[in-house]
Structure 1
Amino acid sequence: MQVAIQGELGSFSHEAAGKVFSEATILPCTLSADVFRALSQKEVDAAVIPIENSLAGSVVEHYDLLLDNDVAIESESLLRIRHNLIVVPGSSLESVQSVYSHPVALAQCRRFFAQHPEVEAIPFYDTAGSVKQLMELRDRSTAAIASARAAECYGGEILAADIEDNAENYTRFFVIRRRDDVLRNPNADKVSLAFTVENRPGTLVAALEVFASQGTNLTKIESRPVQGKPWQYVFYVDYQLSTQIRADIAFDLLRQHCSMVKELGRYQAAERAD
């Protein structure tokens, strides 16, 4: 089993993938587009991608890639995000002058930087990548913010654990496969889909009324601009299923009001776990 992720080994995506595929070989990719390319070209069996953080919001690029590629969502999971200050073993907090990490991670640890104004926060492309760089340079004046798995992967030492500002910090991940490889889940209770409507009064309202008419609970709606078509948008929605038949009916009704409808996946809603 080979699974692609975006980011370095030791990233939160790696941690999420490990919870689903404990024995899989992980293929780290630099870009999200590389993850989808590897999956589409059958270089891997599946991929694990973050789609939404409870504090930072949606990963909008991944919605666009889900729409543009012939893949489907097989399942979702929730990962509690725990940020840790990681150093070269034997370093002390007093010696740390700068901390590297992904900009989102740095923003989620503002309290730590407020308590240590002498420490400079420096953005880096990846949380785990910042630990990898730290351990390659062996610079005791720098530190990184990343997961405990990153410290384990690269031999770093956790100097301070759980330094995130908000404990209610979760990221929702999708497991995706090539569309033909995803079997319909009889226990699915959630649907993700994308649609576009014509740019005239009432079309979006008519589309949304479809969900209400079928007794579904719309849990998320996200809009993204259509590339090359100014002021036109793709709407991405998640909704809870009452029955599989109602989901089929909702899809057929949407096609009457929409110029494009694509179901991105039917799956079981993830349960929150610490």
Structure 2
Amino acid sequence: MARKLTVAFQGEPGAFSEEAIWAYFGAAQVEPVPLPDFEAVFETLEKGQVDRAMIPIENSLFGSVHVNYDLLRAHAVSIVGELELRIRHHLLGLPGSRIKQIQRVYSHPQALGQCQAYLRTHLHHAEAIPAYDTAGAARMVAEMNDPKAAAIAGLRAAAKYGLEVLASGIESHPQNYTRFLVLARADIEPPKGPPGTMKTSIVFALRENVPGALFKSLAVFALRDLDLYKIESRPLVGMPGSYLFYLDVAGSVHEQAVQRALDHLAEVAAFVRVLGSYPRGRRVD
């Protein structure tokens, strides 16, 4: 029997990241490896203790997971795939609990943010308490055995920890998707794909913060008719007022137009690093 691919994720069994692993790889192909925090996920992958990692990078309601942008730059890993997963949040409590009893709601800060409209409307009397993971919050509530406590998590977590669904679909908008990245060690060869199916993620810093510097950097892609899917800025640690820029650009490093754009960018930027070239991800509902 072939060895299953080991895939690290942050959180407890039943987390949405684990669901993303099943959706991307197929349950028969992988062995999810739960870890307590994102730093541990990156370090475990970088050391070769797992084959792959799955991390959330942005949510359509609550924005980017900034810590993972920082960790992508800090560790020798490479993006090799992506997936958009529909996130359905549920209010979970002990069997027999009632919503009017709930005084404390535990969940990951991203999940609390994605459900803030429901919390304001239906649980304004309850305290929202951040936890390190949605499934971890469900586990905490089960272990507390307190009918006044509830968690926001998915159905897998409810089944895993024996909780009851008190309210379903409590996210602030039904079009609630989280984009996940599949990571491998940095020494892996970038996957290839037909033109029009690939994207490349990079990070770069400007040589100096002067008028037109960012425009000139982005122009290297416009000159070659390369679409930009996203641009994200993050502060450059130790240099107040300076920023790193993360870009997702259409195409692969194996394509001449992308390679020439990156060469051109290297001439005008302080540094450029390719974080990965990978197939554009599918959306899973």
- TM bucket (normalised to shorter chain) is over 0.9
Match of 1:266 in 2: 277
Find the partner of 1:257 among 237, 255, 268: 268
TM-score normalised by structure 2 residue count: 0.90
Find the partner of 1:168 among 149, 166, 175: 175
What CA distance in whole angstroms lies between the structure 1 residues aligned with 2:151 and 2:268? 50
Match of 2:240 in 1: 230
Find the partner of 1:75 among 72, 81, 85: 81
Tell me how far 1:151 sits from its aligned partner. 1.1
SS in structure 2 opposite 1:181? coil
SS in structure 1 opposite 2:247? strand
Match of 2:162 in 1: 155
Q: 1:138-153 residue pairs with structure 2 within 5 A?
A: 138-153=145-160
Tell me how far 1:121 sits from its aligned partner. 2.7
What CA distance in whole angstroms lies between the structure 1 residues aligned with 2:20 and 2:153? 14
Find the partner of 1:204 among 207, 214, 217: 214
What CA distance in whole angstroms lies between the structure 2 residues aligned with 1:122 and 1:251? 44
Find the partner of 2:48 among 42, 48, 60: 42
Question: Please, which runs of 5 or more residues in structure 1 have no aligned partner?
Answer: none
Structure 1 range deviating more: 143-152 or 243-252:
243-252
What CA distance in whole angstroms lies between the structure 2 residues aligned with 1:182 and 1:45? 14
Is the contact made by 2:83 and 2:284 (CA closer than 8 Å) also made in structure 1?
Answer: no
SS in structure 1 opposite 2:83? strand
Structure 1 range deviating more: 256-265 or 154-163:
154-163
Report how many residues are paired. Answer: 274
1:65 aligns with 2:76: no
Could you tell me which amino acid in structure 1 is paired with residue 113 of structure 2?
A
Match of 1:218 in 2: 228
Could you tell me which amino acid in structure 2 is paired with residue 4 of structure 1?
A
Q: 1:127-142 residue pairs with structure 2 within 5 A?
A: 127-142=134-149
Match of 1:5 in 2: 9
What CA distance in whole angstroms lies between the structure 2 residues aligned with 1:198 and 1:119? 49
Tell me how far 1:263 sits from its aligned partner. 0.8
Is the contact made by 1:72 and 1:182 (CA closer than 8 Å) also made in structure 2?
Answer: no
TM-score normalised by structure 1 residue count: 0.93
Once the two structures are superposed, residues 70-99 of structure 1 have per-residue CA deviations (whole angstroms, 9 ceiling, x without a partner) of 111001100111110111223333433322
1:104 aligns with 2:110: yes
What CA distance in whole angstroms lies between the structure 2 residues aligned with 1:105 and 1:141? 19
Is the contact made by 2:104 and 2:127 (CA closer than 8 Å) also made in structure 1?
Answer: yes
Could you tell me which amino acid in structure 2 is paired with residue 2 of structure 1?
T
Tell me how far 1:229 sits from its aligned partner. 2.1
Match of 1:17 in 2: 21
Once the two structures are superposed, residues 205-240 of structure 1 have per-residue CA deviations (whole angstroms, 9 ceiling, x without a partner) of 211100101101111111112222222221100111
Tell me how far 1:39 sits from its aligned partner. 0.4
What CA distance in whole angstroms lies between the structure 2 residues aligned with 1:255 and 1:116? 51
Could you tell me which amino acid in structure 2 is paired with residue 147 of structure 1?
G
What CA distance in whole angstroms lies between the structure 2 residues aligned with 1:162 and 1:146? 10
Is the contact made by 2:220 and 2:265 (CA closer than 8 Å) also made in structure 1?
Answer: yes
